[in-house]
Structure 1
Amino acid sequence: MTKEKTLPQPANTLAMAGDNTYNENSGQQYLAMEACLPLFESLGFGVNATFVDYGCSQGAASMAVMQRLVSQLPTNSTATLVFNDLPSNDFNSLIKLLPSIKSFDSTKVLYPCIIPNSFYNPIMPQSTVDVAFALSSIHWLRQVPPPKSTSESFEEFLRKRDSRNSAASHKDLVEFLNLRGREIKSGGKLIVAAPSPCADNEDGRITGNERLRCALFKAMESLIAVGKLPPNATAGIYPPNHVHTEQSFRAAINETKRIWKIEKAYSRVIPHPAYQAMLESQKGLRDIELQKAFERAYANTVVDWILAVFKPFMKSWWIEEGLDEEACEHVFQECSSLAKIEFVKNAGAQLPVAQDFIFVRLNRC
């Protein structure tokens, strides 16, 4: 009996939506960065240090961390600030933010540089990095998983995807840790903020997250039904990522224990800030229409947030499936509008969109 061949999966080469879109829609990721800042406390450096952000995206959160690290350097010291992400990343938006670091502390000489490469490859010379960090980035897989088959329901696809991606995610994380182990100096630090599966649904966040995704896919199904999207338009757009449980993260650390030791670790629930803003705005309101208006504003924000991640994968797949490139942006905007309406309609706008995170500081042995 001939064993069925498994075709190699393509590398993940798509970054977040460009033109500063990710920066403008990364409020939750920024809160995760702020929750991570205690791990940077009490770090000491010499007069010449190198800091690296693995998966910097468009730089909004990265700049805040780099400012924090620069502030902890001795006066009149120098620092190399390295920003790494995929070659497709919108580095122009990041570059526009660089002057904010220089103006932040003029007593230090800073050398910012950009390295466009997957962090599943070597990024820095051996033993040259003092402190590195990866914020909301290590859940991205090295390769793109197979698309949904025509025989699968979306629910079946997600169940299989989660199981299949678990092994790939573990392998990728071990590779990431081994690569960073070669680049970070003995005694250096690697600080990680990683999305994790929601532990419970006490505040409704699991349901809120599910209704947000459901609204997006129902919007696409509506466009398929009227012929504006190809029949298979939803099959290959799910981003190639897999969130780590604390147990799976610790398993990867255990596999690289000759290199890494956990110094500090904790978990937090990170809500999307738009939910709390909506609740504050609705306090004391008796006007039902005004309450609905704030729900629509919340829906607009969280749909834009998820689309800042999904957009490159959606448009790339749609074009691959035969959608005209010139029509693609127009259809995407229509899909966005429909998803916002659907999120309110399915009562998602009455629930929080939130994500559990694990925060870890590792010491290079």
Structure 2
Amino acid sequence: MKFPLLMVLFFTTLFSSGEACGKKKKEIITWRCSNDQGKTNYYKTDECCERIKGELDKDGQNCNEELKGMTGKPKREISKKRRERILEAMECCNPPGTEKKTTKAEIITKILQPRVLRPRMFLLNKAYFPVCFITATPGIEPRIFRSTLGRLAIGPRNLHFTPHDRKIDSTAPRMATRPISAEPSEGFTLLMASNQNPVRIAMRDKHYNERSEIQNAAMKAGLDLIPSFSDRDNLVVVDYGTAQGANSIEPVKKAISTLPDGAIASLVFEDTPFNDFGTLAKTVSDNFTNHGSKIQIVPSLVPLGFYQQVVPTGQADLGFSWSSFNYLENVPSVSLDATASPAEFAVARHKALAAAAHTDLIKLLKLRAKETRSGGYFIAAIGGQAPEGESTPSKPGSQVLQAGLMRMVGEGKLALHELMQMALFPSHERTPKEVEAALEDGAVAPLWEEESLEPKLIVQPAWYVYQDKIKVSESKKDEALREYAQVAISNVVSASGWFWVDVLKKSRGQDWDGGEAFLEEFVNITVEEFVTKFADFKLEIWYNYIKLKRTDKKA
């Protein structure tokens, strides 16, 4: 569960001009993001289409077979040129008057002229949206994935978008002119809604310990908050959202190092049932043995989420949470306006989730208060936003991640509806004022004495390694940059890969076993995008560090 920040990942799809087949205006073409399931009504009627159909027949494929290949196979199996020809061939499959009715809920976009459709996406200030109707794929549950190259993603059940002017250039292939709404209006507003569903959190098995550099740096920046327990002969330490354990060892060791000889330390490592407890158990075993120790150590692993009570009331002396408490308990329902500027949209998104985030943080602080004895401590590093008046924002690398995913969509290796489902993970990166507001809430303030609340900007450690290498030898810059990019992108995959594979399995079938290959290809593609387009990108994230002391008020 270690992960600093998440960026929302939705995409805005535009369409570039250009006739697919001649210059005459043709009948309306209906295009879907998901499998057609026999309700196809792609057609057009001039001689040009017959020539296309003939070309396909020469390849030993008739029009219906090509249509089946397009709608029944992952796009990654079909070349770019082939997809264009198939799309044109689809329009020949039904003569005029035989088209089947399509309900409005199934329509993704309607175009008045036939086009060759290619993905085109651009950044909306850390958020991306498709200009089309999107229907959520059944069975995909809203969940969280964590990555240094992502922030908040909230899941759309229904999306309606208003086309607007491009804000920045895109690296993706140009698509046709913007689509018209299925409604008789020139624009339509974005409605983004989602049912209240609990989220699940888990790190990618076996990989997170090896690739969690920025989370480790965030933990180290909070070590000075740990108090001494030299007057205690029994200590209970709880680490919330421990993941595979690599970033829990150092703070726990520092806490128990202050105990006198002969003391007993009970160590509780908590994470959701979806966590890789096998790797966690090995990490704990490797680091906490009683051989030669003057302190008796009793470790425990608890498979419970931190939105419920983890240890008995009043048992904890010290609690930690590193890069975990920015995740929301449920997927919230929100409504946002896609016609807003990128800056306005980011503000609207933050405001839309603020209420749920405020409620969730209050719940977390009350639960921790119930578990912590009077005089005990709770210390946390919560992924956040820059404090008021600070000119340097959090830069978790969303544009780099965007470039890689855009390229995969453009190459047919990732479907748009799969990409949208990957975005179903709720998180809220709080400002220091939002953290303070939760601490001052009437239900929380009597329970905790606030000893410290401080924002700190944490830089990806690999950035410093990169800078040191190019200072020594400018000739090694390319090699050093690639190493930096590899670390950064591997971090996102170790934190987020499990979620992406989960989404792809739901889309492609539970027997699909291409997850590891997909993640490896994503790393390779995104590293290439990084080194060619983002050579000067410095990955850095703001964290809110809190140190709270438990009062004697009953929780």
Q: TM-score, normalised by structure 1?
A: 0.88
* Cα distance change on mapping 1:145 and 1:286 into 2, 3 Å: same
Q: Deviations over 1:196-254 (max 9, x none)?
A: 2135455xx74x53xx3223223222222333222222213234221121111111111
* Cα distance change on mapping 1:196 and 1:43 into 2, 3 Å: farther
Q: 2:456: which partner in 1? A: 268
C-alpha distance in 1, partners of 2:328/2:372?
Answer: 22
Match of 1:326 among 513, 521, 544: 513
Q: 1:111: which partner in 2? A: 298
1:100 to partner: Cα distance: 1.6
C-alpha distance in 1, partners of 2:339/2:522?
Answer: 23
Matches within 5 A, 1:342-357: 342-347=529-534, 349-357=535-543
2:453 alignment partner, SS class: strand
1:138 to partner: Cα distance: 0.7
- Higher mean displacement: 276-285 or 317-326: 317-326
- Higher mean displacement: 234-243 or 129-138: 234-243
C-alpha distance in 2, partners of 1:22/1:258?
Answer: 37
1:362 alignment partner, SS class: strand
Match of 1:224 among 406, 409, 413: 409
Q: 1:49: which partner in 2? A: 235
Unpaired runs of 5+ residues, structure 2, are 1-190
Q: TM-score, normalised by structure 2?
A: 0.59
Given that 1:263 and 1:362 are in contact with CA atoms closer than 8 Å, whether structure 2 keeps it comes out as: yes
RMSD: 2.7
Q: 1:32: which partner in 2? A: 218
1:165 to partner: Cα distance: 2.2
Instruction: Supply the AA of the counterpart residue of 1:258.
Output: P
1:104 to partner: Cα distance: 8.2
Q: 2:400: which partner in 1? A: 215
1:283 alignment partner, SS class: helix
Q: Deviations over 1:75-95 (max 9, x none)?
A: 101111000011111122221
Tell me whether 1:121 sits opposite 2:308 in the alignment: yes
- Higher mean displacement: 213-222 or 61-70: 213-222
The structure with the largest alpha-carbon Rg is: 2
Instruction: Supply the AA of the counterpart residue of 1:25.
Output: R
1:62 to partner: Cα distance: 0.7
* Cα distance change on mapping 1:237 and 1:145 into 2, 3 Å: farther
* Cα distance change on mapping 1:358 and 1:245 into 2, 3 Å: same
Given that 1:237 and 1:310 are in contact with CA atoms closer than 8 Å, whether structure 2 keeps it comes out as: no
2:508 alignment partner, SS class: coil
* Cα distance change on mapping 1:320 and 1:166 into 2, 3 Å: farther
How many aligned residue pairs are there? 352
Tell me whether 1:234 sits opposite 2:419 in the alignment: yes
Normalized per residue, the structure richer in helix is 1
C-alpha distance in 1, partners of 2:271/2:339?
Answer: 33
C-alpha distance in 2, partners of 1:76/1:281?
Answer: 47
Instruction: Supply the AA of the counterpart residue of 2:385.
Output: P
Tell me whether 1:252 sits opposite 2:438 in the alignment: yes
- Higher mean displacement: 123-132 or 232-241: 232-241
Tell me whether 1:184 sits opposite 2:372 in the alignment: yes
Given that 2:489 and 2:526 are in contact with CA atoms closer than 8 Å, whether structure 1 keeps it comes out as: yes
- Higher mean displacement: 60-69 or 104-113: 104-113
C-alpha distance in 2, partners of 1:17/1:339?
Answer: 18
C-alpha distance in 2, partners of 1:358/1:273?
Answer: 19
C-alpha distance in 1, partners of 2:192/2:495?
Answer: 32
Matches within 5 A, 1:131-146: 131-145=318-332
C-alpha distance in 2, partners of 1:157/1:317?
Answer: 26
Matches within 5 A, 1:163-178: 163-178=351-366
Matches within 5 A, 1:64-143: 64-98=250-284, 99-102=286-289, 106-143=293-330
1:42 to partner: Cα distance: 3.1
Q: Deviations over 1:277-335 (max 9, x none)?
A: 00001114242xx2111111111110111222221222222233336722233222212
C-alpha distance in 1, partners of 2:544/2:477?
Answer: 34
- Higher mean displacement: 81-90 or 333-342: 333-342
C-alpha distance in 2, partners of 1:270/1:38?
Answer: 15
Identical pairs, percent? 27
